[in-house]
A = this chain, B = another copy of it.
Amino acid sequence: MTDTITPDWIAADWGTSNLRVWAMSNAGDVLAEASSDQGMGKLSRDGFEPALLDLVGGWINGPITVIACGMVGARQGWTEAKYDRVPCPAATTGFTKVTTENADLSVHIIPGIAQDAPADVMRGEETQIAGFLSRNPNWDGVICLPGSHTKWVHISADEVVSFQTFMSGELFAAISGHTVLKHSVDSTGWDAAMYEAAINETMSRPERLAAHLFSLRAEGLLHDMSNEAARSRLSGLLIGAELAAARPYWLGQQIAVIGAGDIASLYVKALELQGAPATQVQGDSVTLAGLTAAYRRLKG
């Protein structure tokens, strides 16, 4: 006989690529967790409920609340969820309730955050921000959330004041996979000195960025630059360009970098090179803390 899991509620982090769920007690304990690759990007509208039930079906034993965040609430998602407008707290109670076939399911999607000028949007990161702030009350400063679309977020008085999205991660993938540089940067290795030099070079002469890209190919052809070195340099050029553009965010601020190990470390290192020390925070744990804070507000 297997143990029966009877959670009080279910937390769901539902992004473009993956779905991750936790069976939760009211006390905030994790009773079980599961994940799949059924992200928003792979699902048509009527595929979301089956994808959710695949993971949580065994935890349902009567009516239950599901709190979800992320791209599940995008226009191409399960149901388009609202946006809060800055300035606003992160992950407010402006939930969007989803219509489900299964009458036991009560699914609430956390609102994203939008900014009119400059135009910007986030879905999912607001929940990580809420989780971070629930653990760090009265924290003022700037949160950086690295990823395909890195967000820089100015926090003051427990509100999101402004934010800006940078596509450096996705640019790195597009350049590495779909330009002539694919021959030059195909490597899993890392050359920290090349990365750091490229950060400093782009920060001091950001207007030269476009001149450096094809050089990665030519350095390989003419001077046998290794793919490892070229890959590290490309990463440094792109993150350096991001830091140059994001300078109004991080300069002179308290900084927290929230994210998975490797990519977050690259940002922390790059900021350190600019004399801007940053604290690194694990992304998974703050996501769950944010979903928990949202659940408490819903029940509150």
Contact = CB atoms under 8 A, between A and B. Distances in A.
Interface residues of A, number: 47
A222 B178 contact: no
A94 interface: no
A215 B119 contact: yes
A19 B89 CA distance: 60
A67 interface: no
Contacts of A178: 173-174, 177-178
Contacts of A165: 214-215, 218
Interface string A164-176: 1111101101110
A174 B179 contact: yes
Contact of A218 (B120, B207, B225, B247): B120
Nearest to A213: B167
Interface in A103-152: 114-116, 118-121, 149
Contact of A116 (B168, B179, B222, B246): B222
B207 A179 contact: no
Interface string A207-238: 11111011101110111010000000000001
29 contacts: A115-B218, A116-B223, A120-B218, A121-B217, A121-B218, A121-B221, A149-B180, A164-B211, A165-B218, A167-B180, A167-B213, A167-B214, A170-B180, A171-B175, A171-B179, A171-B213, A174-B174, A174-B178, A174-B179, A206-B206, A206-B207, A207-B207, A207-B244, A208-B245, A209-B209, A209-B245, A210-B238, A210-B241, A210-B246
